[in-house]
Amino acid sequence: MRLKFVALLMPTLVEKPPEGDSWIHEVKFDGYRSQLIIDKDGTRIYTRNGHDWAAKYRDR
């Protein structure tokens, strides 16, 4: 079965993070938000908007 792109959850900018033990926080690094899918049909790298960018990452 070919795995499909799943829309990414986008972070929300806030002044300060919520408090409490029920929250997990992620540091934002500059770069691309991507989704990597590896299955029997090969490897695909999707942008946050669902565009396949695998060709942009290939060795030259």
The count of domains in the chain is: 1
Give residue-wise pLDDT tens across range 7-59.
888 878 889 888 899 988 777 678 788 899 999 988 899 998 999 998 888 76
Residue 20 lies in a domain: no
Residue 42 backbone phi and psi in degrees, to 5: 125, -155
Residue 3 lies in a domain: no
Residue 15 lies in a domain: no
Maximum distance among all Cα pairs of the chain, rounded to whole angstroms:
47
What is the C-alpha to C-alpha distance for residues 53 and 40, in angstroms, rounded to an integer?
A: 18
Q: Is the pTM of this model over 0.85?
A: no
Residue 36 lies in a domain: yes
Residue 23 lies in a domain: no
> Contact at 8 Å (CB) between 33 and 48?
yes
What is the C-alpha to C-alpha distance for residues 18 and 30, in angstroms, rounded to an integer?
A: 22
Q: Does 60 have pLDDT greater than 60?
A: no
Residue 24 lies in a domain: no
Residue 48 is part of which domain span?
31-60
